[in-house]
């Protein structure tokens, strides 16, 4: 059996010089899942980056004030949320409907390669000291890559 990651208090991870990478499947998932953590990390002097995997153009999402909200609006709302949270490094990797529809069936190695080529702050480039994921809200004491 694989060893489990050691859980530590989040406060011990929030200090100047630390890097937090938040990976989100779609715009707004990062804010709902990790918005408080991101704001605390920015306030503590951490470098925070957010990688949204997909915000397609033509595949509509439901909005509070409209029947459907397209990709342009979702991306502009994401930009506004990042500004409020003080997160300067953020990107939406894929806006193509074709890529979006393939993501669930794409082999993991292909998806990871695609992300690494597209994201300026993917694991190897950004080298996070912590990462956060909405579906699995745990924090590792070590990152998947070597320490800086």
* Digit-coded pLDDT (tens) for 76-123: 999 999 999 999 999 888 888 888 888 888 888 888 887 777 766 666
Q: Is 24 exposed, middle or buried (0-12, 13-18, 19+ CB in 10 A)?
A: buried
For position 58, what pLDDT does the model report?
65
Q: Per the structure block, which two tokens stand in for 17?
A: 């010089």
Structural Rg of the chain based on CA atoms? 16
Helices (H) and strands (E) in the chain, counts: 5, 4
Q: Is 42 exposed, middle or buried (0-12, 13-18, 19+ CB in 10 A)?
A: middle
**Vertex 64: Cα angle to 62 and 70 (nearest 5):** 40
State pTM to two decimals. Answer: 0.71
Q: How far apart are CA 109 and CA 104, in angstroms?
A: 13
**Vertex 33: Cα angle to 60 and 122 (nearest 5):** 85
């Amino acid at each position: 059996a694989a060893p489990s990651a050691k859980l530590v208090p989040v406060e011990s991870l929030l200090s100047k010089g630390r890097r937090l990478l938040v990976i989100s499947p779609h715009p707004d998932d990062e804010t709902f899942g990790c918005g408080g953590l991101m704001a605390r990390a920015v306030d503590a002097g951490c470098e925070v980056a957010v990688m949204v995997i997909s915000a397609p153009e033509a595949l509509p999402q439901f909005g509070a004030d409209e029947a459907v909200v397209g990709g342009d609006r979702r991306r502009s709302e994401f930009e506004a949320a990042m500004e409020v949270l003080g997160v300067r490094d953020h990107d939406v990797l894929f806006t193509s409907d074709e890529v979006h529809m393939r993501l669930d069936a794409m082999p993991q190695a292909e998806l990871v390669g695609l992300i690494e080529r597209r994201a300026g702050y993917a694991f190897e480039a950004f080298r996070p000291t912590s990462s956060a994921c909405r579906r699995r809200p745990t924090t590792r004491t070590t990152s998947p890559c070597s320490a800086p």
